[in-house]
């Protein structure tokens, strides 16, 4: 078993001064913590893997392909591989768990 605490992951991510911290990588998936502060721009480009986002905290909009929706704590978003997507209009610091399958390279 591997177990993680969100507060410890956030501290590690902040200490590394990056928006993304991959904290689990297995044969069929990887998981990370993605952080964007209020007002930030999301620099993501489409990925080669399917993704699932789980919003831990914050508020924003996300556009996936041509669809846009508002997200907040508890939102779950699926993004198919290769589809353009971005968080935007981030009004509260956003913390998101990201699951990639297969694992992000």
105 pLDDT higher than 80: no
- Measured CA angle at 9 (ends 93, 34), to 5 deg: 45
Percent of the chain, pLDDT > 70?
100
Question: Model-level pTM?
Answer: 0.94
69 pLDDT higher than 80: yes
Q: Name all domains of the chain by residue range, CATH numbers in brackets.
A: 4-99 (2.60.120.10)
Q: What is the pLDDT of residue 49?
A: 97
**Residues near 93 by Cβ (< 8 Å), separated by ≥ 6?**
35, 36, 37, 38, 57, 58
Please compute the mean of the pLDDT values over residues 39-62 and round it to a whole number: 97
């Amino acid at each position: 078993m591997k177990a993680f605490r969100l507060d410890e992951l956030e501290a590690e991510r902040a200490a590394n001064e990056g928006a993304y911290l991959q904290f689990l990588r297995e044969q069929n998936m990887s998981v990370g913590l993605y952080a964007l502060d209020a007002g930030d721009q999301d620099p993501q480009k489409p990925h080669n893997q399917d993704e699932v986002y789980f919003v831990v905290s914050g508020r924003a909009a996300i556009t996936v392909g041509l669809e846009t929706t508002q997200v907040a704590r508890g939102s779950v978003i699926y993004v198919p591989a290769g589809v353009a997507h971005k968080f935007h209009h981030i009004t509260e610091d956003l913390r998101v768990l990201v699951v990639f399958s297969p694992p992000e390279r």
